[in-house]
Amino acid sequence: MQWDIEADVVVVGFGAAGACAALEAAAAGSSVAVLDRFTGGGATALSGGVVYAGGGTPPQRAAGVTDTAAAMFGYLRTEVGDVVPPETLRQFCDDSVSMLGWLESHGVPFEGSLCPDKTSYPTNRHYLYYSGSEISARDVAPPAPRGHRTRGRGTSGGLLFARLAAATRRAGVQVVGQTKAVRVILADGRAIGVECRSLRGAPWWARTAHRLLHRAARKPFLYVPKAGRLMHRPVGWLERRYGRPLLVGAARGVVIAAGGFGGSRELLRAHAPSARGGLPLATPGDDGSGLLLGTAAGGAAALLDRVSVWRFLSPPPALLRGVLVDVDGKRICDESRYGAAIGDEIVRRGGRAWLFADQATITAARRQLRGSTLWFQRLQARYLLTFGRVTADTVAGVAAKAGIDPDGLAATVGAYNADPAHPGGEPAGPAGKPTDLAGKPADLVVAQDQPPYSLIDFSIRARLLNPAPVLTLGGLVVDHGTGQVLRADGTAVPGLYAAGRSAVGLCSRSYVSGLSIADCVFSGRRAGHHASAASEFTPADS
Ligand SMILES: Cc1cc2nc3c(=O)[nH]c(=O)nc-3n(C[C@H](O)[C@H](O)[C@H](O)COP(=O)(O)OP(=O)(O)OC[C@H]3O[C@@H](n4cnc5c(N)ncnc54)[C@H](O)[C@@H]3O)c2cc1C
C-alpha cells in the first residue's frame, strides 16, 4: 500500500478522547498522527469543561472536602451500573486523583472553590461543585462534590481543549486537519490504516471557507439546529468538491475518537426516537461517522438507544423546593437529583412535567437570579419565571390552566406539605412514619402552601429558551481492559481501538456532569497506551 502519511498510531478525531489517546501514545514512544475533519475541538471545545473526579483530589482537599475512591465507586456504581465491569470502574476511581494530576501536568487548570448551591453549572466564582446526584444518594455512599470545572471564565471546555491541543503539538504529534476518515483499511482483518478525503491540497480560499463556515455553524447548531444545519451545508459541498483521497498508514493501531452521533438526525431517529424534541448536545461533526467506521470494520455497537436528556430545575436553587409532577399530578422524583436523572424520569413518563411552586419559592428564586446564574442560565430562568409558567390562586385552578389532573395534583401537594420530613414533622425512619421525601436535602424540604401557585413547564419539547439538551451515550463495543473494538462474537478487531463518545464507556448508562470528559480522558489514554504497545504491522503479516 502506498501511504501518503505513516505513523505508529493513527487517531481519528481531535477532541478530548483523541488528544488524550495521542498524548499517551506519544509518551509511550510512538509516532502519532491525529486526523480531524475540521481543525479539532469537537464537542469538547464547546463543553462546560467539567471533569468528574474524586477520591481526594487537590481541589477537593483545598476546599476542605473529604472524599475517598471507595465513596466515589459506591456512588458511581449506581449511575454506571454494569455497562463497564466493576474492576474498570474501580480502576477509574482509584486512578482519579492521578488522572486530574495528569491533566494539570498538560496545562489544564482546576481550583478548589466550592459552589454553595446545587446548580447545573457554577458561575465564574466557583470551580468545584456537586455535579451529580451524590447528595440524593447519600444513603448509598458518602457524598462529595466531584464536578471539577476547568478554571476559565464562561463555558470552559474551550480552555480545556486548547491546553490539551497545545500539549499534543508539543509532544510532536502530527495533527492533520480538514481531513475526514471515510474507511478503516484492513489487511486480513487487522486495521492497518485509514482512507480519508482531505482538503490538504485544496485552494486556500476553499480551506479558509471550510474552516470559517464550520466554526460559524457550531453555536447555532447547538441552539437552533435547523439554522446550524443550513449554515453547515456548504461545508459538505466544499469537502465533496475539493476533497482528495489521502491514505494514512498505522503500523500499530488506529484509534477511533470521532465523537458521538447527536448531529445525525437519521441515527437519532433510528436508535433514540425518545430524544425527539431535544436539542442535540453536539457539533455537526458528531454525525456518527466514528460509529460507522468501526462497524464497517467489523465492530459491534451497543447502547445506541441511551441518550442523556437534560432537565435542570436549578439555577436558581430555590426552585428545588418545589414539587415536580407529571400530567397525572403525581410527583416524579427527588427534585434535587442531577438534571440528566430528572430528564430520564420525565422521558419515561411521556416527556411531560411541571414544577409546582408557591409564591414564596418563586420570590426566592427571582431574588437568586443574578447571583446564581451565568448569562445563558439567567435567560432560561427568566423565561421560566415569566412566560414558562401558569399561575392561579388555588391548586385546582393552576392544574386546570396547565392541563394536568387537578385531583392528582391536590393529593400530591397535600402529601408533600404534610410529609414528616418537613422541619417540625414527625421523625422519619424506623421510629417515625416513612417519608416520600427521603433523599431530598433538608434545606430544600419546604412546604408549598403560599398562594398564588405556579406550575412551571419542564416538559421535553423543542424550545429555544428552555431547551432539553440531548447527548448520545452509546457507541462501539470495546474491551474495557484495552479499548480494542470488539466484534459481535466478542473477539477483537486487531489493531482497532475506540474511545470517548465513539465507544461504550463509563457514562453510557447514565450521564452526570463531567463523566463524559472524564471517560474521554480515561478511555483515550487507555486506547493510546495499548495501541502503542501493540506489535508492529509488517506486510508479511497480511
Ligand atoms: C454544550 C456542551 C456542554 C457539555 N458539557 C460537558 C461537561 O461539562 N462535561 C462533560 O463531561 N461533558 C460535557 N459535554 C459532553 C462532552 O463535551 C462530549 O461528550 C465529549 O467532549 C466528547 O468528546 P470526544 O473526544 O468523544 O468527541 P469530540 O470532542 O466531539 O471530538 C470528536 C472530533 O472528531 C472529529 N471527527 C468526527 N468525525 C470524523 C471523521 N470521520 N474523520 C476525522 N475526524 C472526525 C470531529 O471534527 C471532532 O473534532 C458537553 C457537550 C456540549 C455540546
Asked if residues 178 and 209 have their Cβ atoms less than 8 Å apart, the reply is no
The DSSP H or E segment spanning 211 is helix 204-223
**Which residues, including other chains, have CB under 8 Å from residue 4's CB and lie 6 or more apart?**
246, 247, 248
Which atom of ligand 1 is found nearest the CA of 180?
42
**CA 267 / ligand 1 centre spacing (Å):** 17
The per-residue pLDDT for 436 is 66
Q: Give the relative orientation of helices 96-105 and 515-533 as an angle to the nearest 10 degrees.
A: 80
Model pLDDT, residue 336: 86
Residue 388: the pLDDT is 86
| Secondary structure string (H, E, C) spanning 460-483 | CCCCCCCCCEEEECCEECECCCCC
Residue 375's pLDDT is 77
Q: Are 473 and 261 in contact (CB under 8 A)?
A: no
- Predicted pLDDT of residue 441: 80
Q: CB-hemisphere CA count at 13 Å for 207?
A: 13
Q: Which three cell numbers mark 315? A: 439555577
Per-residue pLDDT at 542: 45
SS3 of the chain: helix, strand, coil, percent, to 5: 40, 20, 45
Rg (CA), the chain: 24
What is the residue whose three cell numbers read 427534585? 335
Ligand 1 centre from 31 Cα, in Å? Answer: 24
pLDDT of the residue at 132: 87
pLDDT given for residue 463 in this prediction: 64
| C-alpha 412 – ligand 1 centre gap (Å) | 41
Instruction: Say what the pLDDT of residue 424 is.
Output: 60
H-only helix segments in 81-114: 86-94, 96-105
Burial call 112-149: b when 16+ CB within 10 Å, e when fewer: bbbbebbbbbbbeebbbbbbbbbbbbeeebebbbbbbb
- Predicted pLDDT at 278: 76
pLDDT of residue 456: 94
In a mutational test of the pocket of ligand 1, which residue from 516, 521, 522, 526 has the highest number of ligand atoms less than 8 Å from its CB?
Answer: 516
In this structure, the strands spanning 301-302 and 174-176 are unpaired
Q: Which residues line ligand 1 (CB under 6 A)?
A: 12-18, 35-38, 40-44, 46-50, 180-181, 222, 257-259, 281-282, 285-286, 289-290, 471, 500-501, 513-517, 520
Q: How many CB atoms lie under 10 A from the CB of residue 490?
A: 9
> Tell me, what amino acid is at 365?
A
Q: Using 70 as the pLDDT threshold, list the residues of the chain that sit under it.
A: 276-277, 423-438, 462-465, 539-542
Would you call 269 helix, strand, or coil by DSSP? Answer: helix
Given this model, what pLDDT does residue 431 score?
Answer: 45
